Chains A and B, each alone.
Chain A
Amino acid sequence: GESVGLHLPTLSVQEGDNSIINCAYSNSASDYFIWYKQESGKGPQFIIDIRSNLDKRQGQRVTVLLNKTVKHLSLQIAATQPGDSAVYFCAENMRWGYSTLTFGKGTMLLVSP
């Protein structure tokens, strides 16, 4: 289930389940979005990105959905594995081609074997 801690929401799932991590972004002018995975004590790792002219993009075991109407982004992970346990951040960028990113608050994903 999902719980909201003092600072970081946590999603706990069983191995093999599908996970959905949600993100509400702040700026309606943002036109590019990225999902990052961050393991404890490490830097963020790129997972998947999407431009605002799309509403869905698929990668290997991951899918990103974008709903611009409500400024909502989600990351779906199929057949979640213990190695997927990490904190997941969405990041938005206001203008394509400019590198400044604004990161969301993050969600901790805990996968039980």
Chain B
Amino acid sequence: GAVVSQHPSRVICKSGTSVKIECRSLDFQATTMFWYRQFPKKSLMLMATSNEGSKATYEQGVEKDKFLINHASLTLSTLTVTSAHPEDSSFYICSARLAGSRGMNEQFFGPGTRLTVL
């Protein structure tokens, strides 16, 4: 089956630093990747939609200068949390949509990255 990986799985950083999270589709090409954040015991909230070779589309209330998204290839998208603060601590999850697919079940989720900002 289609596998999506994220790196790192956990990261702890100091307030004010930047953190980059990678999302890779390992055995398929993904024209679209999605970034979500999830607080404890809460649901997934879509942050942005990332299309290969173009600018990401951010959801309302998500600061694009704070959460930089790059989707340089069909298998890699990165999310950079700039000048991180404790309130950015969360579980960040990416998903990847199979290139050429039209159905929803071709969207595959990564294992998530736990970010803790001290």
- Residues on A facing B (Cβ under 8 Å): 5-8, 32, 34, 36, 41-46, 49, 89, 93, 96-97, 99-106
Contact = CB atoms under 8 A, between A and B. Distances in A.
A104 B112 contact: no
Main secondary structure of the interface of B (DSSP, over half): strand
Contacts of A36: 109
Contacts, number: 60
Interface string B89-118: 000010101000011110111111010000
Contacts of A46: 105, 108
Contacts of B111: 42-43
Given A32-B104, A99-B32, A99-B104, A106 B43 contact: yes
A105 B43 contact: yes
A52 to B, nearest CB: 12
A99 B44 contact: no
Contacts of A5: 41
Contact of B42 (A7, A34, A97): A7
Contacts of A8: 41-42
B23 to A, nearest CB: 10
A49 B109 contact: no
B49 A100 contact: yes
A62 to B, nearest CB: 14
A41 B42 contact: no
Contacts of B13: none
30 contacts: A6-B41, A7-B42, A8-B41, A32-B104, A34-B105, A41-B112, A42-B111, A42-B112, A43-B6, A43-B110, A43-B111, A43-B112, A44-B93, A45-B109, A49-B104, A89-B44, A93-B104, A96-B103, A97-B102, A99-B34, A99-B49, A99-B104, A99-B107, A100-B49, A101-B34, A101-B46, A101-B104, A103-B44, A103-B45, A106-B42
